[in-house]
Structure 1
Amino acid sequence: MRPQEHLPAAPKVAVVAFDGIIPFHLSVPCLVFGSQAVRAEDPCFEILVCGLQAGPLRTSAGFTITAQRDLSGLEEADIVVMPSWLTADREAPACLLDALRRAYARGATIVGLCLGAFPLAQAGLLDGRTVATHWEAAGLLAARYPTVKVDQHVLYVDEGQVLTSAGVAAGLDCCLHLLRRLRGADYANKVARRILIAPHRDGGQAQFIDRPLPASPAAGRFSELLAWIDAHLAEEHSIDALAARVAMSRRNFTRHFRQATGTTVKQWLLKQRLLHAQRLLETSEASVERVAQAAGFGNALALRQHFRSAFRTSPSDYRKRFRPNAPA
């Protein structure tokens, strides 16, 4: 979340469609940003599906779609989404690259989902940035564009004006993250519940790279443990105590925890506490000190330090933005 981010009353989201697109990829940003507003004071986003080619566009599923606009729609968009691309080795046409560059130059937020990172890289919009793409294409992206740092272990990367995601369902994570950045955690959580997906997934692509884990009783125990921790974030949680709770040694527990969540206990706890603090700042009148205690940070100073590091703003400024009528 960036406090200087201001959008018009009805922000326009331009989604690029092209011949041969996978319908699911196209539906991801339309589903997240096209959802009806969950708060009366928040206007809906306006979705513009912009066709790369004129006329009906064929999809990979065999049916055709008709785009509302051509690429000129990108010129008036506040957010431009490249929801995918044909293949990692297919060059994007000059008209698309020019449209992406113009949108970026006037300050639009640019989003590349899955292989959509490739046209963005070809347009020069990813130079010097850390990005994500589908793990199968990460090596090719890094080799073809050496000035781009490809992180194949994450679900998405937020670099401010440019966001990129890993493959397929990770596009939902990225779009929900951007929605959270623009409208707050409580709003994004309500949209996630409406479309029946998790508001936030922990871990990264490493969980999905061709090394499936065998089913085990530990998986059920970990699900129960994570739910229990989430309900007791205000308490202290040591690795030894959590390991004992699921009847594991410390070594086995840390290994299984990373396999289950894709991250460490410390990182997972910090992320959950920050998410809980966001929700409390948006939905309650509790002081920053009380929010810090309820989220498990102990005191307001610790919350402010972690909050600024994660969101580049203070808890008070965050509350002013997403709950402007809250008491001081």
Structure 2
Amino acid sequence: MNIGIYIYQNSEVLDFSGPFEVCSTANRFLEQPHQVLLIGQSTAPVKARGGFTVTPHYSIAEHPPLDVLIVAGGIHDQEMFNQPVINWIARQYTRVNVLASVCTGAFLLAEAGVLSGLKVTTHWQDIANLQARYSDVEVCSDLRWLDQGKIITSAGISAGIDMSLHLIERLYSRQLATQTAKQMEFDWQTN
């Protein structure tokens, strides 16, 4: 299984590193580990919020087939108009089993047209903006994460860890998700 995490300039660090840590920690308990892959528009280093620099493993043009794609949030104003990326997200929606977003990553999913008619969530500070911009999406404010089947969205920043633990539960088992949270010494909020 391949779990991809899309990152871009000014991504929120915990939006991608939290899910990465959850998925890689879960691997410690699996006989057949999944791969956790950071994906950028290119493989050039990405400068995330606060100046944290990370190098993607793959580009959107060349990566293994994905089973799950998680889109990080951050300063998304330019990224949501990056047409090659938006087109790639729309294509991945037709290929992956689960497409998820952390925080304002929901704006990229909405721009790709994959949230129409769904209930979603995002960072509390961006809820009104997401609702106003995409009137065909119902934005919820009272949940840390929201599972709508193929689409899972989470509220801001640390909520992506809760969502990722839910993803591990969904892909594997409640026991593995609980074991992963314990290993991370994280107080999992299951909604």
Residue aligning to 2:23: 33
Which structure 2 residue ranges, 5 or more long, are not aligned?
none
Cα deviation, residue 142, structure 1: 0.6
What's the TM-score once normalised by structure 2's chain length?
0.92
Q: Secondary structure at the match of 1:86?
A: coil
Residue aligning to 1:140: 129
Question: Which is strand-richer, 1 or 2?
Answer: 2
Alignment pair present for 1:21 and 2:11: yes
Aligned pairs for 1:150-229 (under 5 A) are: 150-202=139-191
Q: For residue 33 of structure 2, what is the amino acid of its counterpart?
A: C
Residue aligning to 1:120: 109
Residue aligning to 2:71: 82
Cα deviation, residue 101, structure 1: 1.2
Q: Which has the higher contact order (CA 8 A, sep 6+)?
A: 2
Aligned equivalents of 1:106, 1:63: Cα separation in 2: 31
Q: Secondary structure at the match of 2:81?
A: coil
Kept after mapping to 1: 8 A contact 2:13/2:52: no
Cα deviation, residue 37, structure 1: 3.0
Cα deviation, residue 53, structure 1: 4.0
Aligned equivalents of 1:58, 1:37: Cα separation in 2: 27
User: Which moved further from structure 2: 177-186 or 87-96?
Assistant: 87-96
Alignment pair present for 1:12 and 2:10: no
Aligned equivalents of 1:116, 1:140: Cα separation in 2: 13
Aligned equivalents of 2:78, 2:126: Cα separation in 1: 9
Kept after mapping to 2: 8 A contact 1:75/1:103: no
What are the superposed Cα offsets for residues 217-248 of structure 1, whole Å, 9 maximum, x if unpaired? xxxxxxxxxxxxxxxxxxxxxxxxxxxxxxxx
Kept after mapping to 1: 8 A contact 2:5/2:16: yes
Residue aligning to 1:70: 59
Which structure 1 residue ranges, 5 or more long, are not aligned?
1-10, 203-328
Cα gap change, 1:23/1:70 in structure 2, threshold over 3 Å: closer, same or farther?
same
What's the TM-score once normalised by structure 1's chain length?
0.55
Cα deviation, residue 201, structure 1: 4.3
Cα gap change, 1:197/1:145 in structure 2, threshold over 3 Å: closer, same or farther?
same
Cα deviation, residue 39, structure 1: 3.9
What are the superposed Cα offsets for residues 44-67 of structure 1, whole Å, 9 maximum, x if unpaired? 220111112442221222242211
Kept after mapping to 2: 8 A contact 1:85/1:118: no
Q: Percent identity?
A: 26
Cα deviation, residue 141, structure 1: 0.6
Residue aligning to 2:44: 55
User: Which moved further from structure 2: 70-79 or 142-151?
Assistant: 70-79
Cα gap change, 1:87/1:15 in structure 2, threshold over 3 Å: closer, same or farther?
same
Residue aligning to 1:129: 118
User: Considering only CA atoms, is the larger Rg found in Structure 1 or Structure 2?
Assistant: 1
User: Which moved further from structure 2: 90-99 or 110-119?
Assistant: 90-99
Aligned residue pair count: 191
Cα deviation, residue 98, structure 1: 1.2
Aligned equivalents of 1:35, 1:79: Cα separation in 2: 17
